[in-house]
């Protein structure tokens, strides 16, 4: 069903053109990928609070997760958003056309919940849909863009995820920017998470990423993640196979979103969980956990709170990494990060073994073959094993042993300073199409 008549779409287009710069997001948020907790993958649309009060989508669930985020060290590690997903409102708007939280499951209202989250030093996110309905059949924002934006601002929302069910993908080029403009007009800063490109890709429409970057803080490119290694593999493959298109769109304030972290649920082994976290960090991905923090096992909690890998994900340069090698089940992924020494970036490098032949694989490569050419060398550290290998030269051959069935070894190689440069180099634009990430002198 069309969201607006053609005249309405034309009017929105004219308004956006006249507004010029104000139509852009320009909210100064998400300069590093957002981190937090999101309900959907783990708790889905469980609304049966009578028979399953501990796991239903309710005020109680989100307050509990808020408390755990603080008490169990997640907030201290950088996770700051508590995000409600689908199935939170009543099936009908009120007489004034406003969204209403489910009166039984959220008896105190969303402002009360947001205030509680804020009182713990965290931020509050909510879900809606650019369509007539959300994916689960609750009211969408169509016909209520300005009113819903104002409602979210009044509730103290800090993050809005806008899905794309029950909408025409062709209309999203106008609708998503318009809702973002309405969020801006509230004068409350809200991170804006879009599902705009993924619905257009499925419809055979080439997304206008220049516009998406301008209007969204993050966006989905591919399928919803499911609780399985096969799902994680499909996302890794998609991002690797389409990296020439995907990678250039990422940067401070605007991120590709490969979807939630499912670490600590049921579908991933311990080794596969380490791989998801490492590759998401290489991809400069939002780190949005969707797991029951009440029951997560300590070894999975340790993955999610690995500060060294979080530092890779949150690197201020905001350059998304790339797959630089793939052969017979072995992959190497590399991301340029700070510090920069002279002409040269530092790197995070992940070695992934997707073979299933039951024995670890040795991967041997020189730093130079990875594109690490700093003559002063690199201090190399294993980010899961906490092993410091000292300063290695570009000619050094490193050998890592990677377990099978989706395991990873992730290294950090910090470029070392050199006093051989007689002048200060200036940075040239980073080209994501090159395997070697470095700076050059003018």
State pLDDT tens for residues 141-150: 999 999 999 9
Strand partners, 352: 331, 408
Residue 271 has a CB neighbour count (10 Å cut-off) of: 16
pLDDT bin (cut points 50, 70, 90) of residue 24 is low
Report pTM: 0.90
What is the maximum span of the chain, computed from C-alpha positions, in angstroms? 72
Chain centroid offset of residue 102 CA: 28
Statement: 322-415 belongs to CATH 2.60.34.10? no
Residue of 148, 163, 171, 259 marked catalytic = 163
Name the CATH code of domain 6-313 (choices 3.20.20.70, 3.90.380.10, 3.30.565.10, 3.40.1440.60): 3.20.20.70
pLDDT at res. 6: 28
pLDDT bin (cut points 50, 70, 90) of residue 422 is very low
Residue of 67, 115, 223, 224 marked catalytic = 224
Read off the tokens for 272. Answer: 């596969």
Tell me if domain 6-313 and domain 322-415 are identical in fold. Answer: no
pLDDT bin (cut points 50, 70, 90) of residue 419 is low
pLDDT at res. 418: 87
Lowest-pLDDT range, 108-117, 338-347, 420-429? 420-429
**CA 313, CA 340: separation in Å to the nearest integer?**
17
pLDDT digits (tens, 9 = 90+) for 258-316: 999 999 999 999 999 999 999 999 999 999 999 999 999 999 999 999 999 999 999 99
Which residue ranges make up each domain of the chain? 6-313, 322-415
User: Is 244 a catalytic site residue?
Assistant: no
- The phi, psi pair for 113, rounded to 5°, reads -65, -45
User: Is 67 a catalytic site residue?
Assistant: no
Q: What separation in angstroms does the CA of 200 have from each of 130, 205, 287?
A: 13, 5, 24
């Amino acid at each position: 069903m069309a969201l607006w008549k053609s005249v309405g779409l034309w009017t929105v287009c004219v308004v956006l053109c006249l507004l010029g710069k104000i139509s852009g997001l320009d909210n100064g948020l998400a300069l590093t990928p957002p981190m937090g907790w999101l309900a959907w993958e783990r708790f889905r649309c469980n609304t049966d609070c009578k028979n399953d009060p501990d796991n239903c989508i309710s005020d109680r669930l989100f307050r509990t997760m808020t408390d755990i985020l603080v008490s169990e060290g997640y907030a201290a590690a950088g996770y700051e958003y508590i995000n409600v997903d689908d199935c939170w409102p009543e099936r009908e708007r009120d007489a004034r056309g406003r969204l209403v939280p489910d009166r039984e499951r959220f008896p105190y209202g969303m402002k009360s919940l947001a205030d509680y989250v804020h009182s713990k030093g965290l931020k509050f996110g909510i879900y809606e849909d650019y369509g007539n309905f959300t994916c689960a059949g609750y009211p969408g924002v169509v016909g209520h863009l300005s009113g819903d934006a104002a409602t979210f601002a009044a509730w103290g929302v800090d993050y809005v995820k806008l899905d794309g069910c029950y909408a025409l993908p062709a209309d999203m080029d106008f609708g998503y920017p318009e809702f973002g403009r309405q969020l801006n007009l509230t004068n409350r800063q809200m991170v804006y998470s879009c599902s705009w490109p993924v619905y257009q890709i499925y419809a055979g429409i080439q997304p206008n990423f220049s516009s998406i970057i301008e209007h969204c803080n993050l966006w989905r490119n591919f399928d919803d993640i499911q609780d399985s290694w096969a799902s994680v593999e499909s996302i890794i493959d998609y991002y690797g196979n389409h990296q020439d298109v995907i990678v250039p769109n990422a940067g401070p304030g605007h991120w590709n979103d490969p979807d939630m972290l499912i670490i600590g649920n049921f579908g991933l082994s311990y080794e596969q969980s380490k791989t998801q976290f490492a590759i998401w960090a290489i991809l400069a991905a939002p780190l949005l956990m969707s797991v029951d923090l009440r029951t997560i096992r300590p070894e999975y909690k340790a993955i999610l709170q690995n500060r060294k890998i979080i530092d890779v994900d949150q690197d201020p340069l905001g350059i998304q990494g790339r797959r630089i090698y793939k052969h017979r089940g072995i992959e190497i992924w590399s991301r340029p990060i700070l510090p920069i020494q002279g002409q040269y970036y530092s790197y995070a490098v992940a070695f992934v073994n997707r073979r299933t032949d039951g024995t670890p694989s040795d991967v041997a490569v020189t730093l130079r073959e990875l594109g690490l050419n700093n003559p002063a060398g690199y201090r190399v550290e294993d980010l899961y094993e906490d092993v410091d290998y000292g300063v290695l030269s570009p000619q050094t051959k490193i050998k890592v042993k990677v377990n099978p069935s989706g395991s990873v070894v992730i290294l950090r190689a910090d470029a070392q300073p050199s006093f051989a440069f007689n002048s200060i180099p200036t940075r040239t634009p980073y080209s994501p199409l090159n395997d070697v990430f470095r700076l050059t002198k003018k």
